[in-house]
Structure 1
Amino acid sequence: MQKPIRIFVVNSDRLFCDALRTLIASWPGYSHVGEAATVEASIAALDVIEADIVLLEIDLPGEPGFSLLQYLTENQRTERAVVLTRELHPEYIQEALRLGASGYLSHGAGSEQIRNALCAISEGRAAIDPLVCKALAEDQIHDCITDRECQVLTLIAEGACNAEIAQRFGITEKTVKTHVSSLLGKLGMSSRVHLAVYAQDTSLLKPPRAG
């Protein structure tokens, strides 16, 4: 008989831990083997509890979850770590993955998504929440789009034409067209409509400033 996948939870939210414990108990082939609210308590518990996957929050009392990830990696522990958090800042995601996390899930993930992620990780694969991928993609886009292009994009999303954008910023229509062409190229889009829809669906919009 195959051994169950043993899950250890690290989270300071008692209600959230209770919900996870109930959820894991309802899944055939999975076992909730323990939980802790801090990094220090987690390290102490994992010295005596055998776990396959550590499901952890980044925002913890005292040391952040990053410290536990670093401990697991530096001590070559066999447990694989999965971040389950409300923190979707690109810097957090990148740091967690750099420190050896095998997965990164948001609190908005459904029970089936969490179970599928744990299954993938138990098989040696990675699991990244689509919301996490979106946050990383938007961050990369922010890095390649200039402030002026973001301002132009904001006005495009509001339905402004090139002449109105030019007047708003005190630039020529030719310059506006250059910004629009640059945005289309960087975002891989073919029309202003696509730009407007995309901008409204992401965090790219910036309040336009004249000058």
Structure 2
Amino acid sequence: MSIRVVVADDQELVRAGFGMILDAQDDIEVVAEAGDGEEAVAAVRRHTPDVLLLDIRMPVMDGLEAARRVCAQSGCKVVMLTTFDLDEYVYEALYAGASGFLLKDVRRDDLVHAVRVVAAGDSLLAPAVTRRLVADIVRRRRERATADAATPRRLDALTAREVETLRLLARGLSNAEIATTLFVSEHTVKTHVSNVLSKLGLRDRVQAVICAYETGLTTPGSP
């Protein structure tokens, strides 16, 4: 079964370029294109795609608001597109439920890989730029914010092993790598990850990483 994708960008050439790359894959089908956020939301409702590639800066409705609506109203995975590698809107998009982001100068193979990874239910945590972005923005937000004593207590619902799983997630480790580190099976790791998301009310692994930084469980640059 093909991965159904909607590409949303206000630049026609960018849309067409991404569309051609993805449509050339045997397992991916571009079912619609959109020129602004409002069109993107409508296209998701109409075509029920698996993945939405969504530009952040667009007319009528920006990508951030479109991401909020799509993530709240559907199971479609959202990957944000941006020309800026340090754009605070990306953090907002991830917090709204997007599964990651790509720079618009992404390589052809990385674009295809990202769509496949997100469609499979994972998130874009592996690329170093994603981890750097999340770490940098969360660090700066925490520095500006007033200390909130209630925040660390968010993790009280987790077992010790679930806390350690969350810490390793924040380092960008895959399930297989976490399993090796903790000397448990990959199935056990998947259970721990599911429990972490459920107990903390998080949508996916990206939000789990953000939570780990916000609560101080891990800090930018920590091993």
Distance in 1, Cα, partners of 2:94 & 2:43:
23
TM value normalised by structure 1: 0.61
1:87 to partner: Cα distance: 2.9
Instruction: Note the alpha carbon deviations across 1:7-31, whole angstroms, 9 max, x for none.
Output: 1011011111111111012112000
Task: Letter of the 2:96 partner, please give it.
Answer: L
1:99 aligns with 96
How many residue pairs get aligned? The number is 145
SS in 2 for 1:61: coil
Higher relative contact order (CA 8 A, sep 6+): 2
Establish whether residue 108 from structure 1 lines up as the match of residue 98 from structure 2: no
Distance in 1, Cα, partners of 2:8 & 2:65:
12
Contact 2:6 2:52 in 1 (8 A): yes
1:44 aligns with 42
1:140 to partner: Cα distance: 6.0
SS in 2 for 1:33: strand
Distance in 2, Cα, partners of 1:143 & 1:45:
33
Structure 2 unaligned regions, length at least 5:
144-219
Tell me how large the CA RMSD over aligned residues is: 2.4
Taking structure 1 as reference, are residues 139 and 94 closer, same or farther at Cα in structure 2, changes over 3 Å only? Answer: closer
2:181 aligns with none
Distance in 2, Cα, partners of 1:107 & 1:55:
11
**2:57 aligned to which of 56, 59, 84:** 59
Contact 1:6 1:52 in 2 (8 A): yes
SS in 1 for 2:4: strand
SS in 2 for 1:114: helix
Superposed counterparts of 1:97-136, under 5 Å:
97-128=94-125, 129-136=127-134
Distance in 1, Cα, partners of 2:7 & 2:47:
12
TM value normalised by structure 2: 0.58
Structure 1 unaligned regions, length at least 5:
146-185, 189-211
The sequence identity of aligned pairs, in percent, is 22
1:34 aligns with 32
SS in 1 for 2:52: strand
Distance in 2, Cα, partners of 1:134 & 1:69:
21
**1:86 aligned to which of 83, 87, 96:** 83
1:207 aligns with none
1:138 to partner: Cα distance: 4.4
Contact 2:6 2:43 in 1 (8 A): no
Task: Letter of the 1:121 partner, please give it.
Answer: V
Contact 1:106 1:131 in 2 (8 A): no
**1:8 aligned to which of 6, 11, 14:** 6
2:194 aligns with none
Contact 2:21 2:108 in 1 (8 A): yes
Taking structure 1 as reference, are residues 52 and 142 closer, same or farther at Cα in structure 2, changes over 3 Å only? Answer: closer
> Higher mean Cα deviation, 136-145 or 90-99?
136-145
Instruction: Note the alpha carbon deviations across 1:148-198, whole angstroms, 9 max, x for none.
Output: xxxxxxxxxxxxxxxxxxxxxxxxxxxxxxxxxxxxxx978xxxxxxxxxx
Distance in 1, Cα, partners of 2:49 & 2:69:
15
Greater C-alpha Rg: 1
Contact 1:82 1:104 in 2 (8 A): yes
1:82 to partner: Cα distance: 0.7
Contact 1:5 1:29 in 2 (8 A): yes
Instruction: Note the alpha carbon deviations across 1:111-147, whole angstroms, 9 max, x for none.
Output: 11111111111111001442232334445676899xx
